[in-house]
A = this chain, B = another copy of it.
Amino acid sequence: MLHTINKSPFETNSLETCLRFARAGHSVLLFEDGIYGAFKGTRFESLITDSLKSKNIYVLVPDVEARGMRTDNVIDGIKTVDYAGFVDLTVDNKTVQAWL
């Protein structure tokens, strides 16, 4: 199952709620303002690091770059994808749930 997050975790509770319901083995894609959850040194780093133990987390590179954030500052274990990779994720997972 693929969960998508397009909101900043600093602004709304979407990421936190998503991670409360996502199960081990699930995948989570951070895109749009959701990418702000993907970086080292933020208030959400430990939440993400914990989640990486049981879940796959991805971040959309074009949205990272648009915002001037650095892919080399992404938390270790998060994988980077482009739009084609986003499409692949939706193919590889039977269901896609958007946490709006």
| Number of identical monomers bound together in the oligomeric complex | 2
Distance in angstroms from A33 CB to nearest chain B CB is 12
Partner of A10, one of B10, B11, B13: B13
What chain B residues lie within 8 Å of A46 (beta carbons)? none
Nearest chain B CB to A18 CB, angstrom units: 14
Q: How far is the CA of A11 from the CA of B16 in the complex (A)?
A: 11
A97 interfacial contact with B, CB 8 Å: no
Q: Is A12 an interface residue (CB 8 A)?
A: yes
A11-22 contact mask (Cβ, 8 Å, vs B): 1 or 0: 111000000000
A83 to chain B, nearest CB (A): 28
Question: Which chain A residues in 7-52 approach chain B with CB under 8 Å?
Answer: 10-13
Q: How far is the CB of A10 from the nearest CB of chain B, in Å?
A: 7
